[in-house]
Amino acid sequence: MAKINILYISLEGNTRSFVKRLTAFAKQQNMINQANPEINAKEIGPQDAPASESEPFFVFVPTYLTGGNGIDSGYTEIMTTALGEYIEDGNNARYCIGVVGSGNKNFNEQYCLTARKYAKIFDAPFLDNYELRGTDADVERIYGTLTKEWAKNGSSEA
Ligand SMILES: Cc1cc2nc3c(=O)[nH]c(=O)nc-3n(C[C@H](O)[C@H](O)[C@H](O)COP(=O)(O)O)c2cc1C
**Domain membership of residue 92 as a residue range:** 4-105+113-152
15 CA closest ligand 1 atom index: 26
Q: How many domains does the chain have?
A: 1
Q: What is the pLDDT of residue 69?
A: 62
Residue bearing the CA closest to ligand 1, atom 3: 64
16 CA closest ligand 1 atom index: 26
Task: Pick the closest to residue 76 from 106, 47, 113, 111 (CA basis).
Answer: 113
What is the CA(93)–ligand 1 centre distance, in A? 24
Residue 148 falls within a domain, yes or no? yes
Domain CATH for 128: 3.40.50.360
> Which pLDDT band, with edges at 50, 70 and 90, does 43 fall under?
very high
Q: What is the pLDDT of residue 156?
A: 55
Q: What is the pLDDT of residue 8?
A: 98
**pLDDT, tens digit, for every residue of 99-118?**
999 999 999 989 999 999 99
Distance CA 74, CA 146 (A): 32
The predicted model gives 49-57 an average pLDDT of: 96
Residue 157 falls within a domain, yes or no? no
The predicted model gives 125-133 an average pLDDT of: 98
